[in-house]
Amino acid sequence: MLGWAVTFLVIALIAAALGFGGIAGTASGIAQVLFFLFLILFVIAMVMRAVRGRPPV
């Protein structure tokens, strides 16, 4: 999922450099949503791992 966020971020940066405002805005919005979704899932996974008693790696 982080790969998708990075992909949309790169698309947004390229589109912004070329002057495609609508495409850049959409791609950056998708990248932000995917990034925060990944971040939330990561935090949930770390909390679940700590609750189960496994030490962090």
The pLDDT tens digits of the residues spanning 7-47 come to 877 887 887 788 777 877 888 788 888 888 888 988 898 88
- pTM, two decimal places: 0.60
27 burial (CB, 10 Å; 0-12 / 13-18 / 19+) is buried
In this predicted structure, the answer to whether residue 51 has a pLDDT above a threshold of 70 is yes
Q: What is the rounded CA–CA span in Å between residue 47 and residue 24?
A: 35
Q: Which of 44, 42, 57, 29 is nearest to 1 (CA)?
A: 42
pLDDT score for 57: 64
Q: How confident is the model at residue 56 (pLDDT cuts 50, 70, 90)?
A: low
